[in-house]
Structure 1
Amino acid sequence: MSAADLARLQFAATTSVHWLFVILTMGLVPIVAIMHTRAAYTRDLAKRAVRERMTRFWGQLYVINYAVGIVTGLVMEFQFGLSWSGLSKFAGNVFGAPLALETLIAFFAESTFLGMWIFGWGRMRRGIHVALIWLVALTAYLSAFWILVANGFLQHPVGYEVRDGVAYLTDFWALVTNANAQVALAHIALAALTTGGIFVAGISAWHFAKGTKETELFRSSLRLGVWVSMLSSFFVIIVGNLQVPVIEKTQPIKAAILNGTDLAAAQAQEVAAHGPGDYLPWTSWVKNSMDLMTILGNTVSTITFIAVFLLLKDLLVRKRWLAYLMTAIIPLPFIASVGGWVVREIGRQPWLVYGQLTVDDAVSNVSKGSLVVSCVVFIAIFLALAVTNWTLITRFARRGPDGAQLGAGDPLPDDLPGAGGADEKQPVPAF
């Protein structure tokens, strides 16, 4: 393998693993926010107690995934300097701005709000505490937005000019409104909600298959997960198709592969635009990944649509094999999302910045031996973190709400179900 191939393998492997953390984080946090809102503003004290335990349980799984996932994000930052110095040199003035904003949001704002939410159980009023988890959700999606703005520039560079071989930002608004970023963000957000909904529904169904005593808690979780995944999986297909005209306009070879049209004509078009060269990516990877994403996406959409009707007669709860089926499809949205990432990234090869900078020109001038070592080390670290994450999630998911440690401290009166607050009468002390 060449130095460029090693650098590509390293980044592809680490990004794929990191993405598994990201899509669950984005998909789970709005669901946890909905659960917390319902718990905080439910007047029925018994229901409030159940919904608060439900929030703590799913919130703990979210926190585990976020905590381990953010480590993978930190490690990934080093790869730009280590392996892709050519990208930093050419596009750092443009590419660096959205990455810096993403870092500020993810590692400062989002982490701060999440920390306050974690340690705010029993230490702040209900409304403020609920607002914090919604701020965590908002900053998570803002973080994804800036990442896609940066990636959108790689897919279709806009709002810049090249002076002395270096790109300089000239139109920040054009960078932000790049169609390659905007439509992709909507597609990814819906894919994340599908993933989060399936995750919640699958684990809830597993507890019913095992004969849980927490029937009210997991029935409510199951319903929420099924409805979220059904709606989002339906719209993710529609929004995904909206990317087709954008790709046809900006990346003709990728469009030709996906549409099954004449690759030779697309190759000739690229030669006319960029000069002699081989502009065909790994065609089979792009086509097969697209087919995989489509098949899995349609499968999840169909199953969740049927599951909504099964909820009406409580069949997902009473039929063990149906419950196990919901659990078995948990990996499908993750696999489909990785397939989508492969289509997006490999489909623009051999360009790193489309039409401006090739992958070979962007690779750092380091020895092949150094890249072999860094490739092995990075991939080993990421795999270890992935195994750690899913081991912890599986362990706490199996334990159920009784094993949740989130918010285990003594709550203030305003945070206790039935112990007062703005919407309840305070008991009169007896002396």
Structure 2
Amino acid sequence: MSAADLARVQFAVTTSFHFLFVLLTLGLVTLLVIMQTRYAITGAPVHERMTRFWGRVYVINYALGIVTGIVMEFQFGLNWSGLATYAGDVFGAPLALETLVAFFLESTFLGLWIFGWGKLNRWVHLSLLWLTALTAFASAFWIMAANGFLQHPVGYRVEGNVLRLDDFSALLTNPTFTSAFPHVVFASITAGGVFVTGVSAYHFIRRTAETDFFRRSLRLGVVTTALATPSLIGAGFAQFPVIGTYQPGKAEAAHWLGAPLGFMIIIGMALTTASWLTLPLLIRDAVVRLRFPLYLMVIGIPLPFAAAVFGWLFREVGRQPWLVYGLLRTEDALSHVDADRILLSLIVFTSLFALLAVIDWALIARAVRRGPDTTPAPVSPLVVTL
């Protein structure tokens, strides 16, 4: 493989891994907001326990996601310095805002939320989680704004051999951004709903004693999935006119792109159908007595994540041979690094990401098997002991 091919594979691997962490983080924080808001309003202990249990899983995934994000950022300097040189003034603006405004604030609010259990007023503590969720989606907002520029460059002027930011508002009204961002939002909420549904089903398969706890979690997961998936599919199909206008013939850029696009649509339709068929079974806990649907719920946990990777392949590979569509070819953005060094970094980064993924899944599985705490912990229950 050429240096360009190896660099593309490396970026694809690292980005895909990182996006899976982000997807679950955004989905879980949305459901946590619902759980803790219920607790703040009702004061019911079960809602507090739900927030603590699912919050523990959320923090594990968030911590590992930070590490993958840091590693992914190295790609721009190591392999794609031509992008920074040519379009860094435009492309880097939303990325800088994502780091300075969204990510730093999100981490601060999350830290206060983690260590604020039992120390802060109930409503103050709830507001910290709301702020964590809002800044998390703000982070996704700026990332998608940067990606939208790569798909359809706007808001720039050519100065010498580089691009300069000319109209920041154009980045925020870019059709390839405004049509894609809702799709990402509903995809993450769907992933969170499917995950909570599957984990709750797993505990019912094990004949858990925490029936009320996981009954509520199961209902929340199924209802969330049923509400999010129609919007997810609608937002997905709404992108096709935009693609046809600004990237005509995108699917023909690689003849095999039709397969991942088709798989993504099939998964979206399947999750929508399954969640809506399950809604009536929530009445009188029929879904628990039947048991067979519980196994399908557990098996379905990976589906939204697989669909997200398929969608990313279509969006990114279909843009080739352009890195900045119509302006900068992928091969011209490559750093002056020989193929052997890129292969070495590909092996190192892939191994590191695989290790992080295994650690993440192992810690989440451990937290899931442990189940909710029976009594309130004396310190924050979100501190994970390895």
Does TM, normalized by the shorter one, top 0.5?
yes
> Is 2:18–2:69's contact at 8 Å kept on the other side of the alignment?
yes
Match of 1:357 in 2: 328
Match of 1:115 in 2: 111
Change in Cα spacing, 1:245 to 1:404, as seen in structure 2 (3 Å) is farther
Q: What amino acid does structure 1 have at the position aligned with 2:25? A: T
What is the correspondence of 1:116-195 to structure 2 with a 5 Å cutoff? 116-195=112-191
- What's the CA shift for 1:404? 9.6
What is the alpha-carbon distance in structure 2 between the residues aligned to residue 158 and residue 404 of structure 1?
55
What is the alpha-carbon distance in structure 1 between the residues aligned to residue 193 and residue 375 of structure 2?
20
What is the alpha-carbon distance in structure 2 between the residues aligned to residue 54 and residue 177 of structure 1?
38
> Is 1:60–1:404's contact at 8 Å kept on the other side of the alignment?
no
> Is 1:56–1:404's contact at 8 Å kept on the other side of the alignment?
no
- What's the CA shift for 1:319? 2.0
What is the alpha-carbon distance in structure 2 between the residues aligned to residue 99 and residue 235 of structure 1?
27
What is the alpha-carbon distance in structure 2 between the residues aligned to residue 146 and residue 160 of structure 1?
17
Q: TM-score, normalised by structure 2?
A: 0.96
> Is 1:351–1:359's contact at 8 Å kept on the other side of the alignment?
yes
> Is 2:115–2:380's contact at 8 Å kept on the other side of the alignment?
no
> Is 1:203–1:327's contact at 8 Å kept on the other side of the alignment?
yes
How many residue pairs get aligned? The number is 381
Change in Cα spacing, 1:404 to 1:326, as seen in structure 2 (3 Å) is farther
- What's the CA shift for 1:71? 0.6
Instruction: Report whether the alignment pairs 1:409 with 2:371.
Output: no
Determine which of 301, 314, 317 is the counterpart of 1:346.
Answer: 317
Q: What amino acid does structure 2 have at the position aligned with 1:36? A: Q
> Is 2:103–2:139's contact at 8 Å kept on the other side of the alignment?
no
- What's the CA shift for 1:403? 8.2
> Is 2:114–2:380's contact at 8 Å kept on the other side of the alignment?
no
Determine which of 196, 210, 217 is the counterpart of 2:213.
Answer: 217
- What's the CA shift for 1:282? 2.1
SS at match of 2:158: strand
Match of 1:265 in 2: none
Determine which of 275, 280, 283 is the counterpart of 2:255.
Answer: 283
SS at match of 1:212: coil
> Is 1:57–1:404's contact at 8 Å kept on the other side of the alignment?
no
- Deviation string for 1:302-334 (max 9, x for gaps)? 110111111123122222221111111010000
What is the alpha-carbon distance in structure 1 between the residues aligned to residue 152 and residue 67 of structure 2?
29
Match of 2:246 in 1: 250
Instruction: Report whether the alignment pairs 1:295 with 2:291.
Output: no
> Is 1:205–1:316's contact at 8 Å kept on the other side of the alignment?
no
Q: What amino acid does structure 2 have at the position aligned with 1:298? A: M
Match of 2:384 in 1: none
- What's the CA shift for 1:106? 4.4
> Is 1:4–1:360's contact at 8 Å kept on the other side of the alignment?
yes
Match of 1:375 in 2: 346
Determine which of 49, 53, 56 is the counterpart of 1:53.
Answer: 49
> Is 1:396–1:404's contact at 8 Å kept on the other side of the alignment?
no
> Is 1:57–1:400's contact at 8 Å kept on the other side of the alignment?
yes
What is the alpha-carbon distance in structure 2 between the residues aligned to residue 301 and residue 398 of structure 1?
27
Q: What amino acid does structure 1 have at the position aligned with 2:354? A: L
Q: What amino acid does structure 1 have at the position aligned with 2:340? A: G
Determine which of 61, 65, 69 is the counterpart of 2:65.
Answer: 69
- What's the CA shift for 1:239? 1.1
Instruction: Report whether the alignment pairs 1:36 with 2:36.
Output: yes
Q: Which range moved further: 389-398 or 34-43?
A: 34-43
SS at match of 1:41: helix
Q: Which range moved further: 58-67 or 174-183?
A: 174-183
What is the alpha-carbon distance in structure 2 between the residues aligned to residue 204 and residue 158 of structure 1?
45
Match of 1:387 in 2: 358
Match of 1:232 in 2: 228
SS at match of 1:402: coil
What is the alpha-carbon distance in structure 1 between the residues aligned to residue 29 and residue 41 of structure 2?
18
What is the alpha-carbon distance in structure 1 between the residues aligned to residue 313 and residue 76 of structure 2?
19
What is the alpha-carbon distance in structure 2 between the residues aligned to residue 403 and residue 396 of structure 1?
14
Change in Cα spacing, 1:95 to 1:408, as seen in structure 2 (3 Å) is farther
Q: TM-score, normalised by structure 1?
A: 0.86
Q: What amino acid does structure 1 have at the position aligned with 2:366? A: R
- Deviation string for 1:37-91 (max 9, x for gaps)? 1112215xxxx11111111000000000000001100111111000001100000
Match of 1:16 in 2: 16
What is the alpha-carbon distance in structure 2 between the residues aligned to residue 88 and residue 4 of structure 1?
16
- What's the CA shift for 1:107? 3.5
Runs of 4+ in 1 over 4 A off after TM superposition: none
Identity %: 56
What is the alpha-carbon distance in structure 1 between the residues aligned to residue 149 and residue 25 of structure 2?
24
Match of 2:370 in 1: 399
What is the correspondence of 1:300-311 to structure 2 with a 5 Å cutoff? 300-311=271-282
CA RMSD between the two structures: 1.5
What is the alpha-carbon distance in structure 1 between the residues aligned to residue 58 and residue 101 of structure 2?
18
